[in-house]
């Protein structure tokens, strides 16, 4: 495998593109406007500099890695020559369906179309295409550069050959894989994570413990790298809310979002990306309130 395309340059998309280029692949990263692409390039530069600083990459390596990533706003240009196209646009089924329709028209029949969805059905996302057997779920984790796993999900009609192509790409990227043999909303990890997050939110809403202590309990008592509130700030409260609503539709009441989550999102407290979520993230130079 030589070349892949990543569609959508947000948190996941730019990270997946970086992982591909670090593995020696040529990557075309597409988004709808130049300002998003320029933000993605800046984030890739920052992440590579961090890896150099911590001794995980040699000094000269970032130049070659960045040179392997081409950014473009044109979908046709992005997918030209790609063996696998990875979609990483927002978790809205209509949006993904429209994109898959376009990708199906633009790509030669042998191209594999993958989605980085963390919860939606692969079969439904691929429904408008003429190649359901060459579609697959490749679910990366945030931050993609650091996290070691890719969850590989079969749609109802995904072929064995496509599954093998997906697994081959994951190996090439230097990641571990797990396979979900049935296409069920939330796969393994999103269901497990949502269950933990929602239960911890209920513990907080019942007044049993503070956000800080719940995070500390999960970090120190259960050895998770982050507590659920810290992690939701990293992933985005809007993403978590959307995730919970999608799972609720399929599995019912047990994934119903607690009120405090909906209210934080309504108030624009979306996590690190908005400067505040469950915690505050003042920008450098901000003065703390008196």
Note the residues at the interface with ligand CAA (CB under 6 A). 47, 50-51, 54, 118, 141-143, 145-147, 193, 225-226, 231, 235, 239
Provide, rounded to whole angstroms, the least separation between the CB of residue 239 and ligand CAA. Answer: 6
The rounded distance, in Å, linking the Cα atoms of 14 and 249 is: 30
Provide, rounded to whole angstroms, the least separation between the CB of residue 236 and ligand CAA. Answer: 8
In sequence order, the β-bridge partners of residue 171 are none
Taking only Cα atoms into account, the Rg of the chain, rounded to an integer number of angstroms, comes to 19
Provide, rounded to whole angstroms, the least separation between the CB of residue 160 and ligand CAA. Answer: 26
- CB closer to ligand CAA out of 13 and 75: 13
- CB closer to ligand CAA out of 207 and 225: 225
- CB closer to ligand CAA out of 47 and 129: 47
- CB closer to ligand CAA out of 203 and 234: 234
What is the torsion angle, in degrees rounded to the nearest 10, for the CA atoms of residue 233, residue 53, residue 116 and residue 64?
150
In sequence order, the β-bridge partners of residue 70 are 28
- CB closer to ligand CAA out of 57 and 167: 57
Provide, rounded to whole angstroms, the least separation between the CB of residue 60 and ligand CAA. Answer: 17
The H-or-E segment that residue 38 falls in is helix 34-53
DSSP string for 152-177: EE--TT--HHHHHHHHHHHHHTT-EE
The rounded distance, in Å, linking the Cα atoms of 208 and 203 is: 6
Provide, rounded to whole angstroms, the least separation between the CB of residue 290 and ligand CAA. Answer: 30
């Amino acid at each position: 495998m030589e070349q892949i395309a990543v569609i959508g340059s947000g948190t996941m998309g730019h990270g997946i593109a970086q992982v591909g280029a670090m593995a020696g692949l040529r990557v075309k990263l597409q988004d709808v406007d130049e300002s998003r692409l320029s933000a993605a390039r800046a984030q890739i530069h920052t992440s590579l500099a961090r890896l150099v600083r911590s001794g995980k990459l040699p000094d000269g390596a970032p130049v070659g890695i960045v040179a392997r990533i081409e950014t473009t706003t044109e979908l046709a240009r992005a997918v030209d020559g790609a063996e696998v196209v990875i979609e990483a646009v927002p978790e809205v089924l209509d949006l993904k369906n429209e994109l898959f329709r376009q990708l199906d028209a633009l790509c030669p029949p042998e191209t594999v179309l993958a989605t980085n969805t963390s919860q939606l059905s692969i079969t439904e996302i691929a429904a408008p295409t003429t190649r359901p057997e060459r579609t697959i779920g490749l679910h990366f984790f945030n931050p993609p550069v650091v996290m070691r796993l890719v969850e590989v999900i079969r749609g109802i009609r995904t072929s064995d050959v496509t599954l093998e192509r997906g697994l081959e790409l994951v190996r090439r990227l230097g990641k571990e894989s797990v396979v979900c043999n049935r296409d069920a909303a939330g796969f393994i990890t999103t269901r497990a994570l949502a269950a933990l997050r929602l239960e911890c939110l209920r513990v907080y809403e019942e007044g049993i413990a503070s956000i800080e202590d719940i995070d500390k309990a999960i970090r120190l008592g259960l050895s998770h790298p982050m507590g659920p509130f810290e992690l939701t700030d990293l992933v985005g409260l809007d993403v978590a809310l959307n995730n919970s609503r999608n799972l609720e539709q399929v599995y019912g009441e047990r994934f119903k979002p607690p009120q405090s989550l909906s209210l934080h999102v309504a108030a624009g407290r979306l996590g690190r990306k908005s400067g505040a979520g469950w915690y505050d993230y003042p920008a450098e130079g901000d003065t703390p309130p008196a």
